[in-house]
A = this chain, B = another copy of it.
Amino acid sequence: MAGGERRLQILRVAVRLFSQRGFRGTTTKEIAIAAGVSEAMVFRHFATKEELYSAILDHKACLHDTMDPVQVVAEAIARKDDAAVFEGLALDALNQHDCDPEFHRLLLHSALEEHELAQMFWEKFVKRVYRILGAYIRQRQRDGAMIQIEPSVIVRAFVGMVIHHSLNNNLWDRKRTLLKISNQAAAREFTNILLRGVTTTTRRNGLSKKATGKNSRKKSSR
């Protein structure tokens, strides 16, 4: 097998094992066996186990760089379509986690081990979501469309619903014994709860026909 090809294969096997048992919990021998090669081959492609780990992180991080969570809803933000903003973000996150559960586990392992990936992810991804979503909420508060709660609290509440749901599905309750629901439905329900919870609205008929932004005139209700 060609160099680059084999390298990638070993890398993928390592991703799987590291995500299952953590960095320290996985031996280079296990990786070699799972990849169907000798240990020497592993060390031919990656000088040390640490280097292998780093390569994985780079690999994963690069993949996730290309998908910008904020870009997914940029247009909804411009339109000030609250439901589309939150539902879009939630659905994107849930789908992401579903199609790459390994990454979520890898991230948790690295957070527990205080490895660089955790901090990198935090800096490049989480902070960004808080900044941009926080700014959006602040704007909507100025519009009189949302009640005066510290925006970070709202972000945390919403991110909490979504991430915790993923964590449940991927880590604790893979059989979905407690809650079986599609990602679409979950994104919609969480968004409904949050928006009912934080938007100013006088009518109780349904929930979404409220200020779409451009012409909201209500000033600070409380």
List residues of A whose CB falls within 8 A of some B CB. 21-22, 24-25, 105, 108-109, 111-113, 118, 122, 126-127, 130, 147-150, 152-154, 156-157, 159-165, 168, 171-173, 177-179, 181, 186, 189-190, 192-198, 200, 202, 204-205, 219, 221-222
Give bound CA distance, A208 to B150, whole Å: 19
Q: Are A193 and B122 in contact (CB under 8 A)?
A: no
Enumerate chain B residues within 8 angstroms of A127, measured Cβ to Cβ.
177-178
Enumerate chain B residues within 8 angstroms of A156, measured Cβ to Cβ.
161, 164-165, 168, 178-179
Closest Cβ–Cβ distance, residue A131 to chain B (whole Å): 9
Complex copy number for this chain:
2
Enumerate chain B residues within 8 angstroms of A168, measured Cβ to Cβ.
156
Enumerate chain B residues within 8 angstroms of A190, measured Cβ to Cβ.
153, 157
The 4 closest A-B pairs by CB, nearest first: A160-B164, A197-B197, A193-B197, A160-B161
Looking at chain A's contact residues, the main secondary structure is: helix
Enumerate chain B residues within 8 angstroms of A179, measured Cβ to Cβ.
150, 152-153, 156
Q: List 11 A-B contacts (CB under 8 A).
A: A22-B24, A22-B25, A126-B178, A130-B178, A147-B196, A149-B222, A150-B181, A154-B193, A156-B165, A194-B197, A196-B196
Enumerate chain B residues within 8 angstroms of A162, measured Cβ to Cβ.
160
Enumerate chain B residues within 8 angstroms of A197, measured Cβ to Cβ.
192-198
Residue ID in chain B nearest A134 by CB atoms: B178
Closest Cβ–Cβ distance, residue A220 to chain B (whole Å): 9
Of B24, B172, B198, which is within 8 A of A122 by CB? B172
Residue ID in chain B nearest A24 by CB atoms: B25
A111 and B171 contact, Cβ closer than 8 Å, known pairs A127-B178, A186-B153, A193-B194:
yes
